[in-house]
Amino acid sequence: MGKATREAYGEALKEIGGKNEQIVVLDADLSKSTKTNVFAKAYPQRFFNVGIAEQNLVGTAAGLAASGKIPFVSTFAMFAAGRAFEQIRNSVCYPKLNVKVAATHAGLTVGEDGASHQAIEDVSLMRSLPNMTVLVPADEEETRQAIAWAAEYQGPVYIRLGRMSVDNVSPEGYVFAPAKAAILTEGNDVALIANGVMVMAALEAAKMLAAEGIQARVINMASVKPLDEAAVVSAAKETGAIVTCEEHSIIGGLGSAVAEVLAEQAPAPLERVGVKDTFGESGKPKELLAKYGLTAADVAEAARRVVARKK
């Protein structure tokens, strides 16, 4: 088991902060949890704790970006995407300012903090905004590269990060790029398109399916917007069956993005594994993933259903 993506984020911030003095970091009194405290200790003059005031957090970042700085702002995903939505929309995306929103503690795997803190609609909210890039890295290496890329890119970026430790799934030599999916396993019977913590589940599901003679192509789709439409179309045409896997509502996130591409460019049977239009609850992360149907077994079962539909 590797690190949580929030931990990789903290380390990546410190690394890029040493290379570029224009990078500043802002937090809403959660730096120990979001891991921006790593940057704060290394570069205290470029770290700003605005307190429990997420709307001001984003507004201040917008002002710093307009002054030529490269601000990374962090808080829990629920507060970043939810409480500060208007500020992200009107103060960051509308003028296309160079603000990076790195939101941690996303999804059900926040665990015991419960439904009020489990952001399962943040990707949908951020994906709907013009000028916004939306990234959901799967592991430590992909997070590190995504943060480094975001620091160089000119424009708003939303990076979704988690609390739970995850396996290292990035292949040797992996290079992150927006709108570029990574094919982790080959297969022409069904395609499992996943991101974030669900990439682990997709890979495990592929092993289960292989034992049954079903060859699954596992695709890590870290970039939800822009989406790698070519990878989706190829998967649809070459496998004829698609399963999307996300730790997010099936409404508006990865599943919806893939469904839109399929409907317009390459119709194929689709099953969406994700949270089914409901709120979460307090519990252990793995127990919650099981209760809400986000395990490898659930992905494998969805794959069996979608394969049957194409026959």
140 is catalytic: no
Report in angstroms the alpha-carbon separations of 220 from 145, 154, 246, 253: 14, 24, 11, 14
Question: Residue 77 and residue 168: Cα distance in Å, rounded?
Answer: 22
Q: H/E element holding 222? A: none
- Pick the catalytic residue: 7, 54, 142, 247? 54
- The rounded distance, in Å, linking the Cα atoms of 239 and 199 is 19
The three-state secondary structure class of 182 is: strand
Structure-block tokens of residue 302? 């969805």
- In this structure, what token pair is assigned to residue 109? 């795997």
The single-letter code of the amino acid at 128 is: S
Q: What angle do CA 30, 35, 36 make, to 5 degrees?
A: 80
Structure tokens at 286: 């793995």
Q: Which CA distances in Å does 200 have to 93, 206, 229, 259, 267? A: 32, 10, 22, 22, 27
Q: How far is CA 123 from the centre of its chain?
A: 8
Q: Which residues are catalytic?
A: 54
